[in-house]
Amino acid sequence: MPTPTKGPRLGGGPAHERLMLNNMATSLFKHKRIVTTETKAKRLRPVAERFVTFAKRGDLHARRRVMQSILDKGVVHELFAEIAPLVQERQGGYTRITKLGFRKGDNAPMAVIELVLEPVNPKPKTNKVRLTNNIATGAAVVAAPELVEEVLAEDSVAVQAEDVVAVESAETEATEAVAEAAAEEAAPKAE
């Protein structure tokens, strides 16, 4: 038997392992999440992600490749018609594994593997200035014009906010000074 590439075998032989992984993938696509052991979840992740990648392609050949492993036509239809459009913008990482703790009977580490169906929220680009390769020779600073304009706009908003805070603090100090003066006049002199 050849050595496994992604960890120890699940079950007995390679055929049984393939069947177990295909059945777990079927359950994952049917229920969107399953609770299993960490080892099985880690072994299931690349199999499930490969099926989702086939579903994103969406052609007949991809559907037939998935149907070789997932025997339930309803689940294959759900994968291609419902799940694939939801993850079309995602570049990978279609599944998430969350550790749960240990099972009560045999103390096996348990995990939830679920499909990530939320829309992708791209991270905002940072406004860092890039330097050229040779810093020692005093190389010029290269920056994109849009980024500089964004930074200037953000700075002007920050300056306006600081001005408003300064005016409010000056008004507060003036109000306090008037209140103190009124209190001194109202208080009888102790002399």
70-107 in b/e burial notation, b at 16+ Cβ within 10 A? beeeebbebbbeebbeebeeeeeebbeeeeeeeeeeee
Which amino acid does the sequence have at 108? A
* Start-to-end C-alpha separation, the chain: 106
Quote the pLDDT of residue 191: 44
Architecture of the domain delimited by 14-115 = Alpha-Beta Complex (3.90)
Sequence spans of domains, the chain: 14-115, 130-186
Quick check: 84 and 56 in contact, CB under 8 A? yes
Q: Quick one: DSSP state of residue 117?
A: -
Neighbouring residues of 144: CB distance < 8 A, sequence distance ≥ 6: none
Quote the pLDDT of residue 71: 94
Mean pLDDT by 10 residues, the chain (191 residues): 65 89 96 96 95 96 96 96 94 95 96 93 72 54 52 57 62 68 62 44
Q: What is the pLDDT of residues 94-135, one digit of tens each?
A: 999 999 999 999 999 999 999 999 988 877 877 666 555 555
Quote the pLDDT of residue 12: 80
pTM of the predicted model as reported, rounded to 2 decimal places: 0.62
CA nearest to 51, candidates 16, 11, 94: 94
